[in-house]
Structure 1
Amino acid sequence: MPKPTKGPRLGGGPAHERLMLANLAAALFTHKSIKTTETRAKRLRPLAERMVQFAKRGDLHARRRVLATITDKSVVHELFTVIAPQVNERQGGYTRITKLGFRKGDNASMVQMELVLEPLTPKVKHSKTSTVTAEKPVVEEVVVADAEVADEAAAEVVVEEPTEAAVDTKDAK
């Protein structure tokens, strides 16, 4: 027995659902933006993202995989030649869903689904280590070339150990 799909069912059988999602994807790639119900848009998003990933690969096998879903050759051509170069720098998130409100007839939640074709602007990374190192004063190191001078400097350093009176005053506090 075939395993049912996860998520909301879009009515009809699995073949009808597959064809409906393919038509929605074709409309999205043709018009760059479609208005549909929220449920359909959420089911369409993974399919559309996968088609764009195939288009970014651009080889013959990827084109045939997309043609297996979207049978309109002009839509597939536009996806591979127009849309894929525009989203080439983007790692994912090729679609955007914006809620519009509710449909008057049946109160279904409507959304605007569109392709994100704006050029990607890289984020500037603000790390705390770079700001902290800029605020710290720079300490210069002194290099001692002669071994005798180094021994004399080590001999001049005297470590004071606390006396018993100083320890008693700390304990009293």
Structure 2
Amino acid sequence: MAKYRKLGRTSSQRKALLRGQVTSLIYNGKIITTEARAKEVRKIAEGLIALAVKEKDNFETVTVDAKVAKKDAAGKRVKEVVDGKKVTVYETVQKEIKKDQPSRLHARRQMLKVLYPVTEVPEAAAGRKANTKKVDLTQKLFDEYAPKYAGRNGGYTRIVKIGQRKGDAAMEVLLELV
């Protein structure tokens, strides 16, 4: 018996397809795809969520001093003239950050091997680069999905059959996080 479905593609195309669909599933919470693809995506996604559940509390909180640019009421950086040059004024602020333990860092890197980077574009500024922001899907896995699924022993996804696709009569399904 085979370990995985080939999905009629070369290995590089198949890996890219599965990575894209897993990324989309974690970002959106559900995707519509064929039954064979959904079963393959489910394996990968459930592994990532299980990894996040296992490592969700494996960090320590550390207080650090950070230099932050001082800003005026309009949100622009405050500058002062020193030796004839405009220099930004910085102030020191204490911040609390989460520092991953080695096993959680390893888990994060394993997730990043599978997930593609996602950039969120606001509706109002569609087509412009301004106001876009990168979404950290590993953080979403650790902060949202891990506490949600902490009490479950697997079975984080559900496949619901929709019907046959018009073009090739392939069974379409809705793959969603429970």
Shorter chain as denominator, the TM-score bin is: 0.5 to 0.7
Structure 2: which 5+ runs fail to align?
56-103, 118-134
Tell me which residue corresponds to 2:27: 30
Identity %: 39
Say if 2:141 is the partner of 1:79: yes
Q: In 2, Cα distance between the equivalents of 1:90 and 1:68?
A: 25
Q: In 1, Cα distance between the equivalents of 2:166 and 2:54?
A: 42
Paired residues, what number? 113
Which of 158, 167, 175 in structure 2 is aligned with 1:105?
167
Moved more, 33-42 or 7-16: 7-16
3-state SS of 2:137 partner? helix
TM-score, normalized by length of structure 2? Answer: 0.59
Q: In 2, Cα distance between the equivalents of 1:85 and 1:43?
A: 24
Q: 1:77-110: per-residue Cα shift (whole Å, max 9, x none)? A: 2122111111011111001001011011111100
> What letter is aligned with 1:27?
S
Greater relative CO, 1 or 2 (CA 8 Å, sep 6+): 2
Larger radius of gyration: 1
Q: In 2, Cα distance between the equivalents of 1:13 and 1:5?
A: 16
Tell me which residue corresponds to 1:62: 107
Tell me which residue corresponds to 1:10: 7
Which of 37, 40, 43 in structure 1 is aligned with 2:37?
40
3-state SS of 2:151 partner? coil
Name the structure where strand makes up a greater proportion of residues.
2
3-state SS of 2:136 partner? helix
Say if 2:139 is the partner of 1:94: no
Shift of 1:5: 5.5
Shift of 1:11: 2.7
